């Protein structure tokens, strides 16, 4: 039975790593977490009932690993939510609302390249990764991992009001970044 899932594990691994990188922003930790999740899935194949899609089941295992990792990291260091951590989104774009070449992803070297290569999810990922770490983490836990607000509160030891405030700020910053980096007068740049 394990052999039949081997190809599914191989196909799923890059997606799991990309998803995990949004949370931990460290490739080594992301690969370790994904490996742990895949090992957990492999060891738990005998308990897999097929009630959920296979990918969903593996993602739920990874989600639990991520939550454990975040809780451990929280205990190991004190977390600060500070305006000093925030970057100036305006500094990433020129006066015409095009990416500043110094702030743009490294593979965007010219306006022509920008136009040809850009797509919404690249810009979204860029914007998400440039949010303050704590803001991006809360946003990803809620919107990408579908955790309930109470779970986020427990995981990060913050109040529910703080979660909603951080989510609101994250959405505003993502909207501003996407409007400047992706939408210009209703057209993609």
Tokens representing 181 are: 């980096």
Is pTM beyond 0.85? Reply is no
Q: pLDDT tens across 111-170, in order?
A: 555 444 446 667 777 888 889 988 988 998 888 777 889 888 887 889 999 999 999 999
- Whole-angstrom Cα distance, residue 187 to residue 127? 18
- Which residue segment(s) compose the domain that 70 sits in? 2-76
* Domain harbouring 21, CATH code: 1.10.1740.10
Q: pLDDT tens across 62-78, in order?
A: 988 988 887 777 666 64
Residues 43 and 68 in one domain: yes
The dihedrals phi and psi of 87, each to the nearest 5 degrees, come to -100, 160
Last residue of a domain, one of 76, 105, 123: 76
Residues 68 and 101 in one domain: no
Exposure string for 16-52, b = 16+ CB within 10 A, e = fewer: bbebbbbbbeeeeebbebbebbbeebeeeeeeeeeee
Last residue of a domain, one of 12, 42, 76: 76
């Amino acid at each position: 039975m394990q052999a039949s899932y081997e190809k599914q594990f191989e196909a799923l691994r890059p997606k799991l790593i990309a998803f995990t990188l949004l949370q931990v922003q460290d490739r080594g930790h992301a690969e370790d977490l994904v490996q742990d999740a895949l090992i957990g899935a492999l060891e738990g194949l005998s308990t897999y009932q097929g009630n959920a899609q296979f990918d969903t089941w593996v993602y739920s295992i990874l989600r639990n690993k991520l939550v454990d990792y975040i809780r451990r990291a929280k205990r190991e260091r004190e977390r600060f939510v500070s305006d000093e951590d925030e970057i100036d989104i305006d500094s990433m774009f020129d006066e015409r609302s095009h990416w500043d070449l110094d702030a743009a992803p490294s593979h965007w070297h010219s306006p022509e390249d920008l136009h040809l290569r850009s797509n919404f999810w690249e810009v979204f990922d860029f914007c998400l990764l440039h949010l303050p770490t704590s803001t991006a983490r809360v946003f990803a836990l809620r919107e990408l991992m579908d955790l309930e607000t109470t779970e986020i509160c427990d995981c990060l030891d913050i109040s529910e009001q703080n979660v909603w405030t951080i989510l609101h700020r994250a959405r505003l910053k993502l909207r501003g970044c996407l409007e400047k980096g992706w939408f210009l007068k209703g057209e993609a740049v």
